[in-house]
A and B are shown apart, each in its own frame.
Chain A
Amino acid sequence: MAAAVRLRGLHKRFPRVHALRGIDLEIAEGEFFALLGPNGAGKTTLISILAGLTRATDGSVSIMGFDVARQYRQARRALGVVPQELVYDPFFTVRETLRLQSGYFGLRRNDAWIDELLANLGLADKADTYTRLLSGGMKRRVLVAQALVHKPPVIVLDEPTAGVDVELRQSLWHFIRRLNRDGHTILLTTHYLEEAETLCERVAMLKEGRLVALDRTENLLRGGGGRRLVLELDVTELPASLRPRLTGRDGARFILDLPDYGDLEAILASLRQAGVGVCDMALGQADLEEVFLKIMHGVGHDTPEQA
């Protein structure tokens, strides 16, 4: 499959900050991809370069095979960006804003799609309201609609759910998923990691301008601790035979590594053998947040465990 987004040896130096330090990344057409990283990691900078808002210091960037500098017209036509900053033009209503945005992309009669966008983003009754009068979350919805007026094959959302209520989060993701099913490639940044975990097939993690992880979501979850068994016992010490499996403690609970469910039987047998009673037991899996923290703080760093 062709690459929807391709970054090669990408560097960005600001006068004081080396914001991107050699990024190589390929996102396939039709992927639902998450770009994660702490504040200041370089996510927005990377997106700005995709969008042609910032110029790369070094390296090459293409969208749907079009170089963002040399073939900027095709590249920009193929890209829809929801910016992180909540921006709007105070002079125009929601519908005017969307009509203008369509016009910039050369679409003169786009009202059918605009209406569909408004309906899907819960903006239908705000169509004739000035954007400056909308609440923050509503403004964010308009930004999403603006990014989609030209039905771009590649959609980039820079923290689209910051400050957005639960209901819109749900309907927004429902809508974006539908677009993804229809073949649109989605690149998403978010600080809500459970969103990335449930939505995205593949995840890249960025730290201080470098890619520190890039894998399928399920692989990351497995690698980041994998399955585990949480036990609450009637004793305060874990039987010696199980100690090698211990990965952490959470109060009275022991957290054991459980790479394979087949090991469960053996663990229970060891407990019986030691004459230890089980008060409570739960199976679990490390979530993306834990994996994220682990990767960001370097492997082996102890992170607070949740039950």
Chain B
Amino acid sequence: MSGFRTLLYKEILRFWKVLVQTVGAPVLTALLYLLIFSHVLEEHVQVYPGVSYTAFLMPGLIMMSVLQNAFANSSSSLIQSKITGNIVFVLLPPLSYLEFFMAYLIAALVRGFTVGLGVLLVGLFFADIEMRYPLWILAFALSSGAVFACMGIMAGIWANQYDNLAAVQNFLIMPLTFLSGVFYSIHSLPDFWQGVSHFNPVFYMIDGFRYGFFGQGDVDPWLSLAVVTPFVVLLSGLTLMMLKSGYKLRH
């Protein structure tokens, strides 16, 4: 148990020591999106009645940051440890694969939430953001963050070099998060793309999360939760199996 706590502490300390890169940079990126999109679209788009475009944009940006950073934290930590070889420091001690999993998962969530909170704080300067249903907000942040943290663990273990990881990031993570209704309501899309979006689980993550803020969404939050929860179960299961087998960690 205390081995787990130390690993968790180490994983948090790792990104905390380089906060400028691990939290500062993604918050700045979100800020740039916010400035550009709200400047361009504020006057032209109103998605929900009584909600300004900038306010509408905020939950999506926060969620996107949570997801991308949860993924980045576990994946980059693992690939770095593998490439530098210091992964042996955590493979030699008597840590179970479950402890290993929980430590990387929770650390990824902490990083995701830290960045998400940073984006929220910055956003407060630009728009009034109400948070009507904090429990929905929390439920979607946790479940969705966990899905991406698991993907990060798997990608970090699978990847042999940074290039592999960049490929996952560019061809999977970015499209999934960008084409999920962060910047728009899918109701504003043509029918075809609306249909396609419904197959993107990230759409439900963001829509449910946004519902927590405004009490309005494209679909019912319970439906979103029903879509996201199986992904949490599936991906944690896969990640645990991978860790238990020792795939690419213990030959």
Contact = CB atoms under 8 A, between A and B. Distances in A.
Chains A and B belong together in one complex: yes
Interface of A: 14, 48, 51-55, 72-74, 76-77, 79, 81, 83, 85, 87-92, 96, 100-106, 108, 146
A83 B84 contact: no
Given A54-B251, A87-B86, A91-B13, A81 B3 contact: no
A106 B2 contact: yes
Contact of A91 (B1, B14, B85, B93): B14
Contacts of B2: 103, 106, 108
B88 A87 contact: yes
A104 B89 contact: yes
A53 B86 contact: no
B17 A76 contact: no
A103 B5 contact: yes
A166 B91 CA distance: 31
Interface in B90-118: 90-96
Nearest to B95: A104
Interface of B: 1-3, 5-7, 9-10, 13-14, 17-18, 81, 84-86, 88-96, 246, 250-251
Q: Report, nearest first, the 9 A-B pairs whose CB atoms are least far apart.
A: A103-B6, A104-B93, A87-B85, A73-B94, A76-B94, A54-B251, A106-B2, A89-B86, A87-B86
Given A55-B250, A83-B85, A88-B86, 20 more contacts: A14-B251, A48-B251, A51-B91, A54-B251, A55-B246, A55-B251, A73-B96, A76-B93, A81-B92, A87-B84, A87-B88, A89-B81, A89-B84, A100-B9, A101-B93, A102-B6, A103-B6, A104-B89, A104-B94, A106-B94
A100 B6 contact: yes
A84 to B, nearest CB: 10
A24 B88 CA distance: 26
B84 A90 contact: yes
A51 B92 CA distance: 6
Contacts of B7: 103-104
A302 B156 CA distance: 52
Nearest to A78: B94
A73 B7 CA distance: 16
A92 B10 CA distance: 9
Contacts of B246: 55
B250 A54 contact: yes
Contacts of B93: 76, 101, 104-105
B15 to A, nearest CB: 9
B89 A101 contact: yes
A62 to B, nearest CB: 15
Contact of B90 (A14, A85, A104, A108): A104
A89 B89 contact: yes
A79 B88 CA distance: 13
A4 to B, nearest CB: 17
Contacts of A53: 88, 91-92, 250-251
A96 B203 CA distance: 42
Contacts of A146: 89
Contacts of A54: 250-251
A298 to B, nearest CB: 31
Given A85-B85, A88-B86, A91-B17, A52 B91 contact: yes
B10 A100 contact: yes
A100 B84 CA distance: 17
A85 B250 CA distance: 16
Contacts of A14: 251
B192 to A, nearest CB: 46
Contacts of B84: 87-90
A77 B3 CA distance: 12
19 contacts: A51-B92, A52-B250, A53-B250, A53-B251, A55-B246, A81-B88, A87-B84, A87-B85, A87-B86, A100-B9, A100-B10, A103-B9, A104-B6, A104-B7, A104-B92, A105-B94, A106-B1, A108-B2, A146-B89
Nearest to B17: A91
A104 B3 contact: yes
Which among B2, B5, B89, B91 has the highest number of chain A CB atoms within 10 Å? B89
